[in-house]
């Protein structure tokens, strides 16, 4: 990982030593050093994932962002694009417990959360906890379960707790939901409720590998070989320490105003000279604002910087906003997607 310790390209940089911004400059230099020392485990984690994941750099980077921010991630892509494999490999490379939940149309909320079971010996009900009580959760094909099952995750994802009967239980400090869904299959699937999809920090669209990457996959796969050994190289303590550094990464006021402008451009596009009012049904929620800040800082951390640049915000915008921006029937009729609208917003809103 290449470290960049000269914050000469971020908005609002102090001009020179001895001027009012000098303390900020020194603080950023200190954060740069913290980033350098607290990100060692990321290189080891990338190496472990590279044993089985060819290409898909965007996917791997977003999974690391999830670890650094504690934000849940929705992975959308065609079958066979290593979505499930990437999540399982990530879980194996982290010292934590992992559960895979295969969502099906006949599931019940108790299959995820747990339930009360009557014990005739003690003439009392006992709590049997479900698979949600794990650090890393793979919700595989989440859109195959009906809304009542999907909504069972709402409390867990937002408040990191689960209520069973009259009792409420805390989930592990390291708790992350990584869900997958197939975008093209309609039979036996249910669209995610708006309340739940908004709780995913990122929606990552997984695409096909390149031609060279496909050849590498062909050369690597051999069904007669034994499974590749993935070593657990990251500890929860490393992740929590890195999260503290991520929270300390400097974000200039101009960057914060830029984030607000991007969000408000989805709610009131006309004020930004954008002719998109007929294509947007509802703009993004305040969670988009909060998550843009968190993801931008995480991307700066992954780049080895102690400060956020406008490019970090622009890189985060698509994955943070695409599932929160609801398009109108007019947009659907004209084959205009939420991604098209976000690209136009990014091209129009002034960059600091």
CATH topology of domain 52-219: Rossmann fold (3.40.50)
Output the pLDDT for position 187. 64
Domain ranges of the chain: 52-219, 249-348
Rounded CA Rg of the chain: 22
Do 249-348 and 52-219 have the same topology in CATH?
A: no
pLDDT, position 224: 54
Q: Could you tell me if residue 12 is left (phi over 0), alpha (psi between -120 and 50 degrees) or otherwise beta? A: left
Cα 304 to Cα 34: distance, rounded to the nearest angstrom: 10
Is-contact 72 200, C-beta < 8 A? yes
- In tens digits, what is the pLDDT along the chain, a chain of 352 residues? 434 444 444 444 433 333 445 677 778 888 888 988 888 999 999 999 998 888 889 999 999 999 999 999 999 988 888 888 888 899 999 988 899 999 988 888 899 998 888 888 877 788 888 999 999 999 998 888 888 888 788 888 888 999 888 888 999 999 999 999 887 766 667 778 787 888 899 999 998 888 998 888 888 877 656 778 889 999 999 999 999 999 999 999 999 999 999 999 999 999 998 888 889 999 999 999 999 999 999 999 999 999 999 999 999 999 999 999 998 899 989 999 999 999 999 999 999 8
249-348, what's its fold? Helicase, Ruva Protein; domain 3 (1.10.8)
Tokens of 261: 């402008």
Strands 73-76 and 98-102: unpaired
For residues 124 and 179, what is the distance between their CA atoms, to the nearest angstrom? 36
How many helices (H) and strands (E) are present in the chain, helices listed first?
15, 11
Q: Which residues have C-beta within 8 Å of that of residue 160, sequence separation ≥ 6?
A: 170, 171, 175
List beta partners, residue 114.
Answer: 129
Structure confidence at residue 16 (pLDDT): 36
Distance CA 337, CA 83 (A): 23
DSSP letter for each residue of 121-171: TTTEEEEEE-TTSSSEEEEETGGGS-HHHHGGGHHHHHHSEEEETTEEEEP
Q: What residues are paired with 125 via a beta bridge? A: 118
């Amino acid at each position: 990982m290449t470290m960049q310790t000269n914050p000469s390209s971020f908005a609002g940089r102090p001009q020179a030593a001895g001027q009012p911004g000098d303390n900020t400059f020194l603080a950023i230099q200190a954060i740069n050093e913290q980033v350098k020392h607290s990100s060692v485990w990321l290189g080891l984690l990338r190496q472990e994932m590279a044993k089985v994941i060819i290409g898909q750099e965007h996917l791997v980077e977003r999974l690391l962002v999830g670890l650094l921010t504690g934000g849940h991630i929705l992975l959308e892509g065609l079958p066979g694009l290593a979505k499930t494999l990437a999540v399982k490999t990530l879980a194996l490379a982290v010292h934590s417990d992992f559960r895979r939940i295969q969502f099906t149309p006949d599931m019940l909320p108790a299959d995820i959360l747990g339930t009360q079971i009557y014990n005739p010996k003690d003439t009392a009900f006992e709590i049997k906890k479900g698979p949600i009580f794990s650090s890393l959760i793979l919700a595989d094909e989440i859109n195959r379960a009906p809304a009542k099952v999907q909504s069972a995750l709402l409390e867990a994802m937002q408040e990191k707790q689960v209520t069973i009967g009259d009792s409420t239980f805390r989930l592990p400090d390291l708790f992350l939901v990584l869900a997958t869904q197939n975008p093209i299959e309609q039979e036996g699937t249910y669209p995610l409720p708006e309340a739940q999809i908004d709780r995913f920090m990122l929606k990552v669209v997984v695409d096909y590998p390149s031609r060279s990457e496909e050849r590498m996959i062909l050369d690597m796969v051999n069904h007669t070989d034994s499974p590749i050994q993935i070593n657990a190289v990251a500890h929860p303590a490393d992740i929590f320490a890195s999260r503290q550094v991520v929270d300390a990464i400097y974000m200039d006021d101009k960057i914060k105003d830029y984030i607000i402008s991007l969000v408000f451009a989805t709610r009131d596009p006309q004020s930004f000279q954008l002719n998109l009012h007929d294509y947007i049904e509802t703009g993004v929620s305040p969670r988009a604002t909060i998550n843009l800040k968190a993801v931008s800082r995480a991307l700066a951390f992954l780049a080895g910087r102690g400060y956020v640049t406008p490019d970090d915000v622009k890189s985060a915008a698509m994955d943070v906003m695409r599932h929160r921006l609801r398009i109108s029937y007019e947009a659907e009729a004209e084959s205009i997607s939420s991604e098209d609208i976000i690209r136009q917003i990014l091209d129009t809103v002034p960059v600091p």
